[in-house]
Structure 1
């Protein structure tokens, strides 16, 4: 059974909403409140209540006071906590990058805390409205329910302390960078592991395959691999995704290629295209490329005149260099063996190393080209990548092509003799890794000075 794209998109928006887990927990607390009231006055529970009577409320007035106080206090905690979330999101967008906001919104720990607050409020109100007068003049007091409400209130206080600690750490740039770096590295390693477990030596000539045009405009963010591969296995066809993940496509663009001509099978084409995901937000879990982009944007933001934090820019550059070194082990063509043992059914165009250099270092190069400290560290990052990339010819060529652009920018904007001497030393270090191409860089740099 295939889920329509609109339903899948609505589901994705729902689970990535800040209110998803709070809504689930609220419903869970409501159900628990109903269960509590259902068993409150049963004989076994009454026996238990007599055994632990010392910690139970025996007065309707005290029960109302406790429940009212708990509900009002937790409402205050909830309002303050939601306000803190909004402040953090606004600060992250202004000082780091708008791209990191979706990741902060979907942080489960914060959602769980907010959900526990809402659930505790609902539970306390349900208990409050169940303090009733009985026919005999006595008052029915849900003392077990009040005890649970009190426990939830105490837990809420502990969660509030945790929330303040967590939210204050969430906005610190070092923690944001470390989180982005760790998650991106995990995604890269997962792709490397999949390709090592199912190696493919020879790839088809995709130029000879039949094109399938897109019927949707938007940012291509991913594909339901299981769903698509099941269709491909059933129809005995193979598909190649010819665009990079995250790129904007328009209707009519040759989005896919198929090893068979299915242009006359409109129903099959629609089923295949319905497996692809289009939306605006960038989640690292969709593709490691978004993690690199977010780290790069934090570096660019750090170099803006309003922030002026070159230390953060340098740390971001170092992280980018490590991630790009990891990226060297990924094939430029990705693939999936799902629902097939004979060979891949789905191929995709992995963002090339050259494209990653351009996308992540060009904004930084343009904003920091007059800062000798940052540009020296960019050269050092390239030196480190070159040290590992000795067996990857295409990657080395891409690195030196980009180094030429960096040297040209430095020549135009760095004129201080001391700064130029430091840059020359870094270029000489690159020469020790690759003598011929390194000397060309040094000559290019020194020629402009003369």
Structure 2
């Protein structure tokens, strides 16, 4: 249930209307809070704030907040377009989920709604002396929040569309996803080594698998005393005729409705970051490939991406799998292999950066560093990609001296890897 709620909240975080809508509800409630103060403290002895001064203040806020909100939306859209153009369109969900920008937009829209509701109520004599004082305090508070939010937002919007900011955000999201997968590689089920025999279950649509509800599969398996073998993982593209799971009957012959099983596999048109640990690596790799294209020719960005991969896999290797007894003992789930993750991260850089000596040297050093982390599977994947990158460099680099530098570095690091193993 917790994973389901987290996935749902993550989808809401990518919608720009959610936080402004919540802010509007709070603004309307704050405007009517002043009326409740009139009923509770009719003779409070508080300073009597004139209706004219309140009307002027609320009119200023209502006239300025709508303009600022429109300006904020325009600036955010420009930043989103810049991030998508300079990095990759797949990074857009990460950029649009920026908390500071959504918070600022919510403040501007909420302040506008508050001022309109408060102004209408004030001009119709809805407030008494206590209510006007409370409305004044709330208005001043809203004004202060707007100023602070605007200053924070200006600082953030100046960086939001920058390539470095986009890389940092994607790296953070990819790292969280990989660490979550490291702690729970089988999504709470049992480890599947070989796909068991059983009745195939197909997805309800064609697209990318976004989430597997292992808890729902466990409920179905317990109810019918069966075993469920998950055949696909989040991030895979589900095609017609491709089974998403197999249900082991264990000799039972009764007819079963596998609708609950297929509904446990959430399929959408795009990939998501939360439960797809490889997607963040792919997005970072796409940013590096774009930077290495002849039209851009920015090897420094590719080097920055390689450094990000080193940080991500270093944290991944230091994180231990949670050794807990699973209650989902009837659901079998395969693990994401380290080789697949390295393929998603380094294959495109090895291909597109093969003709750039500084990228090849940094890539060999990064792979050697990762191979020394002590994990056998990780060491094997790093060594394989080091040789793969060397072959690309030998074909792409024009100067024999440059080829020899890469070859010497690859051979030296390969020998160190074999010595450490």
TM range (shorter): 0.7 to 0.9
1:412 and 2:412 correspond: no
Report 1:217-236 matches (<5 A).
Answer: 217-236=206-225
Q: In structure 2, how many angstroms separate the alpha carbons of the residues matched to 1:16 and 1:435?
A: 45
| 1:239/1:346 contact within 8 Å kept | yes
CA contact (8 A) 1:229 1:338 kept: no
Number of equivalences: 414
Aligned residue for 1:80? 71
| Higher deviation after alignment, 74-83 or 27-36 | 27-36
User: How far 1:327 moved relative to its partner?
Assistant: 5.0
User: Which residue matches 1:439?
Assistant: none
Once the two structures are superposed, residues 191-250 of structure 1 have per-residue CA deviations (whole angstroms, 9 ceiling, x without a partner) of 333469x997x8564243443233321111112233333333333333222123211112
* Whole-angstrom CA distance in 2 between matches of 1:423 and 1:251: 45
Once the two structures are superposed, residues 323-357 of structure 1 have per-residue CA deviations (whole angstroms, 9 ceiling, x without a partner) of 3455568999x9996544xxx33232333222223
Q: Which moved more, 1:409-418 or 1:229-238?
A: 229-238
In structure 2, do the counterparts of structure 1 residues 24 and 133 end up closer, same or farther at CA, with 3 Å as the change threshold? closer
Q: What is the match of residue 444 of structure 1?
A: none
The yes-or-no answer on 1:152 pairing with 2:135 is no
Q: Distance in 2 between matches of 1:256 and 1:43?
A: 61
Q: In structure 1, which of residues 410, 419, 423 is the aligned counterpart of residue 406 of structure 2? A: 423
Contact 2:228 2:245 in 1 (8 A): yes
TM-score by length of 1: 0.80
Residues 13/405 of structure 1: CA separation in 2 closer, same or farther (3 Å cut): closer
* Closer/same/farther in 2, CA of residues 431 and 126 from structure 1, 3 Å limit: closer
CA distance in 2, matches of 1:254, 1:134: 67
Does the CA-based 8 Å contact 1:40-1:142 persist in structure 2?
A: no
The yes-or-no answer on 1:41 pairing with 2:29 is no
Residues 369 and 158 from structure 1, CA distance in 2 versus in 1: closer, same or farther, beyond 3 angstroms?
A: same
* C-alpha contact (below 8 Å) 1:21/1:108 kept by paired residues: no
Residue 369 of structure 1: SS of its match in structure 2?
coil
Given that 1:40 and 1:46 are in contact with CA atoms closer than 8 Å, whether structure 2 keeps it comes out as no
Tell me which residue corresponds to 2:340: 355
Q: Give 5+ residue unaligned stretches, structure 1.
A: 437-450
1: CA distance, partners of 2:290 / 2:138: 48
- SS of equivalent residue, structure 1 residue 278: strand
TM-score, scaled to structure 2: 0.85
Quote how far apart the aligned CAs of 1:177 are. Answer: 2.8
Residue 311 (structure 1) aligns with: 300
- 1:295-337, CA deviations, whole angstroms, 9 ceiling, x for partnerless residues? 21221122233433212211211222343455568999x9996
Are 1:384 and 2:369 counterparts? yes
Shift in alpha-carbon separation, 1:45–1:275, aligned structure 2, 3 A:
farther
- Higher radius of gyration, 1 or 2: 1
Indicate whether 1:69 and 2:66 are aligned. no
* 1:94 aligned residue (85, 96, 99): 85
SS in 2 for 1:220: strand
Q: Match of 2:367, SS?
A: helix
Distance 1:331 1:215, change over 3 A: farther
Check if 1:289 corresponds to 2:278.
Answer: yes
Describe the superposition over 1:354-378 as per-residue Cα deviations: whole angstroms up to 9, x where unpaired.
2223223222222212111111211
| Cα offsets for 1:52-78 (capped at 9, x unmatched) | 34xx3x1x3333222111111111221
C-alpha separation in 2, matches of 1:249 and 1:199: 21
1:131 to 118, 122, 128: 122
Gaps of 5+ in 2: none
Tell me which of 22, 25, 28 is aligned to 2:26: 28
Aligned pair in 2 of structure 1 residues 325, 209: CA closer, same or farther (>3 Å)? Answer: farther
- Following superposition, the deviation at residue 27 of structure 1 comes to 1.4
How much has 1:434 moved relative to structure 2? Answer: 4.1
- C-alpha change, 1:75 and 1:134, in structure 2 (3 Å) is closer
